[in-house]
């Protein structure tokens, strides 16, 4: 019985770690997409940084970049 319990813990740990990691392909796609959206609203100076961390409820995701200007939209009347 003890072996089965240890095996279950090991598998549970592996599954939890798998949920935490964002693979390189997913990270690259997210950075590209967030960068594209950022450039629609700002004159972006440099690249876009993405950080993903784990918290109690799931994940904390931060997107950051430097911008030279905000692109304001004008409403036609």
pLDDT of 19-37, one tens digit each?
656 888 989 999 999 999 9
59 forms beta bridges with 54
Query: Is the predicted pLDDT of residue 57 greater than 60, yes or no?
Result: yes
Does pLDDT of 39 surpass 90? yes
- Smallest Cα–Cα separation from 66: which of 51, 52, 41, 47? 47
When the pLDDT of each residue in the chain is averaged and rounded to a whole number, the result is 86
Q: pTM, whole model, 2 decimals?
A: 0.66
Retrieve residue 53's tokens: 């961390």
């Amino acid at each position: 019985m003890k072996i089965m319990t240890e095996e279950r813990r090991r598998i549970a740990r592996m599954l939890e770690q798998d949920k935490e990691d964002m693979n390189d392909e997913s990270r690259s796609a997210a950075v590209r997409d967030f960068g594209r959206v950022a450039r629609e609203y700002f004159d972006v100076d440099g690249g876009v940084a993405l950080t993903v961390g784990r918290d109690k409820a799931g994940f904390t995701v931060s997107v950051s970049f430097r911008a030279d200007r905000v692109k304001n939209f004008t409403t036609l009347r």
